[in-house]
């Protein structure tokens, strides 16, 4: 009985302080339902953002309206550059920079002006295995898309109308 009381009190304290599991988010009620403009699953970033919103149980509107907020996603840009040279005079480390722009509107009024989010990651490259380097770059880019979609969600969470 004592353990049950302790567990219940601990759970109540954690929820009262705003604790939430990592990767879960709740948007303010005024932002829901949210209409997605030019975000579709034909682009990798659009697919990842849509997956993030759905997995966080964000209600989505099929059509825009005057009282419905609209989230727009700009094109994703990605670049890669060598940042160090190894003893064989080949690139030893690469940096990937990924950028995406998003905007939030309500009707014709801009709620959040276009914001550019940048994320960069560095990875080591094996000069003897080009296939592994390419596969690692793809994995890192997918992780970056997940992080960028979480950043967009956190910006929406912090929005106060």
**Is-above-0.85 flag for pTM?**
no
Instruction: Give the domain range for residue 83.
Output: 26-158
Is residue 2 in some structural domain? Answer: no
Is residue 125 in some structural domain? Answer: yes
Give the DSSP per-residue string, 17-57: TT---TT-----GGG-SEEEES--TTSHHHHHHHHHHHHTT
- Whether 20 shows a pLDDT value over 60: the answer reads no
CATH code of residue 69: 3.30.160.150
Count of beta carbons in the 10 Å neighbourhood of residue 88: 9
Per DSSP, the three-state class of 127 is coil
**Alpha-helical runs (H) found in 58-124:** none
Into how many domains does the chain fold?
1
Provide the pLDDT confidence category of residue 24 given band limits of 50, 70 and 90. low
Strands 34-37 and 60-61: parallel
Q: How far apart are CA 148 and CA 140, in angstroms?
A: 12
Q: Mind listing the pLDDT tens digit for each residue in 86-136? A: 777 677 788 999 999 999 999 889 999 999 999 999 988 776 776 777 888
């Amino acid at each position: 009985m004592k353990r049950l009381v302790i567990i219940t009190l601990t759970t109540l304290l954690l929820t009262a302080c705003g604790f939430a599991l990592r990767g879960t988010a709740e948007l303010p009620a005024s932002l829901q339902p949210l209409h997605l403009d030019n975000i579709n699953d034909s682009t990798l970033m659009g697919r990842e953002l849509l997956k993030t919103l759905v997995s966080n149980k964000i209600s989505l509107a099929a059509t825009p309206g005057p009282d419905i907020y609209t989230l727009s996603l700009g094109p994703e840009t990605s670049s890669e550059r060598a940042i160090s040279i190894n003893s064989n005079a080949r690139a030893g480390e690469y940096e990937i920079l990924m950028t995406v722009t998003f905007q939030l509107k309500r009707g014709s009024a801009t709620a959040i002006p276009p914001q550019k989010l940048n994320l960069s990651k560095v990875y080591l490259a094996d000069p003897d295995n080009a296939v592994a380097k390419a596969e690692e770059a793809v994995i890192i880019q997918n992780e970056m898309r997940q992080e960028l979609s979480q950043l967009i969600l956190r910006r929406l969470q912090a929005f106060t109308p």
